[in-house]
Amino acid sequence: MSKYPHSDIEPKWQARWEADKTFRAVEDPQFPADKRLYVLDMFPYPSGSGLHVGHPEGYTATDIWCRFKRHNGFNVLHPMGFDSFGLPAENYAIKTGTHPLATTEANIAVFRRQIKSLGFSYDWDREVSTHTSEYYHWTQWIFLQLFKKGLAYEAMMPINWCPSCLTGLANEEVVDGKCDRCGTPVERRNLRQWVLKITAYGDRLEDDLAEVDWSESIKLMQRNWIGRSEGANVTFAVVDAGGKPGSTTFQVYTTRPDTLFGVTYMVLAPDHALVDAITTPAQKASVEAYQKAARLKSDLERTELAKEKTGVFTGAYAVNPVNGAQVPVWIGDYVLANYGFGAIMAVPAHDERDWAFAKKFGLPVIEVIAPSDGTSPGVATEGGLTACYTGPGKAVNSGEFSGSDSESFKKKITARLEAQGIGKKAVNYKLRDWIFSRQRYWGEPIPVVHCAKCGIVPLREDQLPLLLPDVKSYTPTGTGESPLAAIDSWVTTTCPDCGGPAKRETNTMPQWAGSCWYYLRYIDPKNTKAFADKAKLDYWGNVDLYVGGAEHAVLHLLYSRFWHKVLYDLGLVGTKEPFQRLVNQGMILGENGQKMSKSSGTSINPDEIVGQFGADTLRAYEMFMGPLQDAKPWNSNGVVGVNRFLQRIWRAAEDLNFTTAEPTKAQLKVLHRTIKKVTQDTEALAFNTAISAMMIYLNELAAGTEGPSGPELPLSIWKPFVVLLSPTAPHLAEELWERLGETGGLSRVAWPTWEEALCADDEVEMVFQINGKIRSKLVVPAGLAAAEMEKLARSDARIVALTEGKEIVKIITVPNKLVNIVIRG
Ligand code: ANZ
Ligand code: ZN
């Protein structure tokens, strides 16, 4: 009786799979379209800390699924690669002077070794890394297509700026309003940026969510991020020196034109273009002081609902177009400069933020919508309203509109304003165009030049890839430009159009660029003529199953959907959506139930688990922990338990004599039930219960029956089990398979099927009813036909006695459960 030698067996099979290219995916036309599967993992960022046990969670889930599908005759594309441009390597370079390329490639080597040690069935011939010029050639090429479609443009944009590091920061680098590197509060600075017009796809990004099989929670996060709302733009005039509506006007966007009669003041964003012009001399000093303070805050800080509202009066008044009321114009930082018009009409009776602001500054509150159910939470005592009501209802205090319901009121008032030329139906999005440039080194160079004569000129496609040059210092220049700006020989170039002198764009693309389209490159990773061949793209279609962490709910998943749709519009991909089905794995927590961390000593190194227990144990354990989508704490005893299960399989295979004898009914029942459960659960990605079913099989059969030379089990009962085991513990299963004398490997052996009849219990207790009341019971063989059940019921002594002389109206039978005899009288 030997211990399962995982450290011999696992490398043996990994080497065999690699040498035989067992998991190579080929575009074989023999497989019909519905037998081709593209199963994708979110590729890792190769960080310096190596693989985390969270990575193999999703990777094991997809691997089991892929292996299961191969056993079921599918042609499966299952690739892996590395998302290898990004900040940590660059920050490390700034600190140590080590070239980001060296750091990145060393990290990739570690990740690759670790991932390979887990025996995943990737087609490694398709590996990509986003930092290689073979790859970013096509990232740049896609950028050119965006540019040519007018979807990439240059603009002055406020960005996060660290006054200490003297550099622009990505949003991800700003933590609690402070620079992630030095802790200095971040400012906003207007800098020239490259921007992608993702807003042009806002509607489709929203609408097409209906076509994908994603969890509702992720869809909701995307919807909220896109933030589509409907309402009206309304023009207000500023009161002039004569006290009349003057020629200076401004617009507001409101989702509630039905509350127009309740407007008691207006608020402009602190940097609204009109502020200087309308501020009265008396208010000038306080307005300017307020503007200055507001510039130091992030959008998040400004709009937080719970936050204390601040603002100052400009001294100016505006005229409400529906009733001529003159209301004060304030500035306040809860109004964002870049949403709608950066100006609002405030209705404190029906908007929480306005309510808080009005309370603080003693501004009037006018109730104009009463809840339809007759209650009036608003109308209280002399003191005015006690709460704000944000729901729909019936208009009150609204002139001739009083009495109409909010929805029809909205339509009527919008139409009227439209007729007067001072309003218009409008749709707005929270989604902003995507600030796409970074003042950084370790990213894809943006392939355009600035020509004194021609302006911005894209490189010709045959000038790609535009290689990232070497620099001496990775430290940003401090002028808001990337370290590339310091390399004169690279920056100075000629214009692709006129041949005159030009300067290269020195900003690079953000981390997200490479991951926007990597799933397409896997389909044709070595193509030097195109990002991928159309016929191959059409062969595989979009990703059938995508598994990864929920932290990518918006950014990566929204950006890729956007790029994919652009490529779709160009006729370059054949599907509207990149990822048909998305599953988010739950977080693996530390043994203490908290997020794993190195500093608290709760992080688990996958290498150690593999070393001590083997890859199959790590795989099976991570799947056995609980439902894939749930967060779950690590448990060292659990690892030992799963390892023991695999050890017992190994021992059973050694101890049992496999015979050609006919299996018993009991053995068949266990086997067929196991096949059914493992098949159905694997199909449903319920790997934890599939593993439980295999444990039950082992408990019930591993002892075998006593034979002349020890315990024995019919081979026909054991062999299918080895196949069932193979997706979860592929190394062990391959070894067992080989030891049964099989050659040619296990990975494409047909999946066993079950017979329903063999799964059923042999005997069941049948209930006999009369008019729905239980009158008798009988133990009978399972699976009886209705006619037989009826016969048994009608010959039951008690039933015979009770139905004597009665008219039987009908007989209802429920297989394996009951017979109900309906009688009259
Ligand atoms: C008056 C009003 C009355 C509003 C009411 C709401 C309720 P969503 O739905 O998120 O699109 N708003 C408009 N522009 C803004 C800006 N730049 N910064 C901050 N708030 C702004 O939100 C639209 C609502 O947010 C608009 O409708 C406006 O307030 C405010 F009972 O107008 B509402
Ligand atoms: Zn030119």
One-letter-per-residue 3-state SS of 300-331: HHHHCCCCCCCCEEEEEEEECCCCCCEEEEEE
For residue 389 and ligand 1, the question of a CB distance below 6 A is answered with: no
Gap from CA of 253 to ligand 1 centroid (Å)? 7
Q: Which of 86-95, 214-223, 377-386, 653-662 has the lowest mean pLDDT?
A: 377-386
Question: Which pLDDT belongs to residue 188?
Answer: 78
Residue 379 confidence (pLDDT) above 50: no
Tens-digit pLDDT profile for residues 106-134: 999 999 999 999 999 999 999 999 999 99
For residue 229 and ligand 1, the question of a CB distance below 6 A is answered with: yes
For residue 348 and ligand 1, the question of a CB distance below 6 A is answered with: no
Of all protein residues, the one whose alpha carbon is nearest to atom 11 of ligand 1 is 229
Gap from CA of 355 to ligand 1 centroid (Å)? 13
Residue 89 confidence (pLDDT) above 80: yes
Gap from CA of 503 to ligand 2 centroid (Å)? 10
Q: What is the DSSP letter of 576?
A: S
Which tokens sit at 649? Answer: 């399989």
Which tokens sit at 318? Answer: 């505006």
Question: Which pLDDT belongs to residue 381?
Answer: 37
69 class by beta-carbon count within 10 Å (0-12 exposed, 13-18 middle, 19+ buried): buried
Which tokens sit at 248? Answer: 């200076």
Question: Average pLDDT in the 659-668 region?
Answer: 94
* Helix or strand run (H / E) with residue 236: strand 229-239
Residue 377 confidence (pLDDT) above 70: no
**Spatial CB neighbours of 2, under 8 Å, sequence gap ≥ 6:** 650, 654
Strands (E), 117-163: 152-162
* Helix or strand run (H / E) with residue 229: strand 229-239
Sign of CA dihedral 344, 348, 354, 357: positive
Residue 177 confidence (pLDDT) above 90: no
For residue 320 and ligand 1, the question of a CB distance below 6 A is answered with: no
- Predicted confidence band at 663 (pLDDT cuts at 50, 70, 90)? very high
Of all protein residues, the one whose alpha carbon is nearest to atom 18 of ligand 1 is 335
Cα–Cα nearest to 246, from 314, 316, 323? 316
Q: Which of 225, 236, 309, 339 most suits a substitution to test ligand 1, by most atoms within 8 Å of the C-beta? A: 339
Gap from CA of 399 to ligand 1 centroid (Å)? 23
- Predicted confidence band at 301 (pLDDT cuts at 50, 70, 90)? low
State the Cα–Cα distance between residues 657 and 550, nearest whole angstrom.
48
Query: From the CA of 448, which ligand is nearest?
Result: 2
Q: How far is CA 128 from CA 89, 98, 134, 135, 136, in A?
A: 18, 23, 9, 7, 10
Helical packing angle, 606-613 and 636-655, nearest 10°? 30
Gap from CA of 506 to ligand 2 centroid (Å)? 17
Question: Which pLDDT belongs to residue 300?
Answer: 56
Helical packing angle, 54-71 and 687-701, nearest 10°? 70
For residue 428 and ligand 1, the question of a CB distance below 6 A is answered with: yes
Question: Which pLDDT belongs to residue 304?
Answer: 59
Q: Are 615 and 642 in contact (CB under 8 A)?
A: no
pLDDT averaged over every residue in the chain: 93
Tens-digit pLDDT profile for residues 665-709: 999 999 999 999 999 999 999 999 999 999 999 999 988 888 888
Tens-digit pLDDT profile for residues 726-770: 999 999 999 999 999 999 999 999 999 999 989 887 788 999 999
Question: Which pLDDT belongs to residue 386?
Answer: 76
Question: Average pLDDT in the 530-559 region?
Answer: 94
Question: Which pLDDT belongs to residue 172?
Answer: 64
Question: Which pLDDT belongs to residue 425?
Answer: 96
Tens-digit pLDDT profile for residues 394-416: 999 999 999 999 999 999 999 99
Tens-digit pLDDT profile for residues 470-511: 988 888 777 778 899 999 999 999 999 999 999 999 999 998
Question: Average pLDDT in the 172-187 region?
Answer: 80
Residue 378 confidence (pLDDT) above 60: no
- Phi, psi at 40, each rounded to 5°: -125, 140
State the Cα–Cα distance between residues 566 and 199, nearest whole angstrom.
12
β-pairing verdict for 434-435 and 187-196: antiparallel
Question: Which pLDDT belongs to residue 17?
Answer: 98
Q: Residue 772: left (phi > 0), alpha (psi -120 to 50), or beta?
A: left
Question: Which pLDDT belongs to residue 593?
Answer: 92
Nearest atom within ligand 1 for CA of residue 347: 3
**Peptide bond between residue 371 and the one before it cis (omega within 30 degrees of 0):** no
Nearest atom within ligand 1 for CA of residue 369: 31
Gap from CA of 198 to ligand 1 centroid (Å)? 22
Of all protein residues, the one whose alpha carbon is nearest to atom 19 of ligand 1 is 335
Q: Are 3 and 612 in contact (CB under 8 A)?
A: no
According to DSSP, the residues that pair with 585 across neighbouring strands are 549
Looking from the CA of 620 toward its CB, the CA atoms found within 13 Å total 31
For the stretch 603-632, what's the b/e string if a residue is b when 16 or more beta carbons lie within 10 angstroms of its beta carbon? bbebeebbeebbbbbbbbbbbbbbebeeeb
- Predicted confidence band at 383 (pLDDT cuts at 50, 70, 90)? very low
Please give the residue that has the higher pLDDT: either 380 or 470: 470
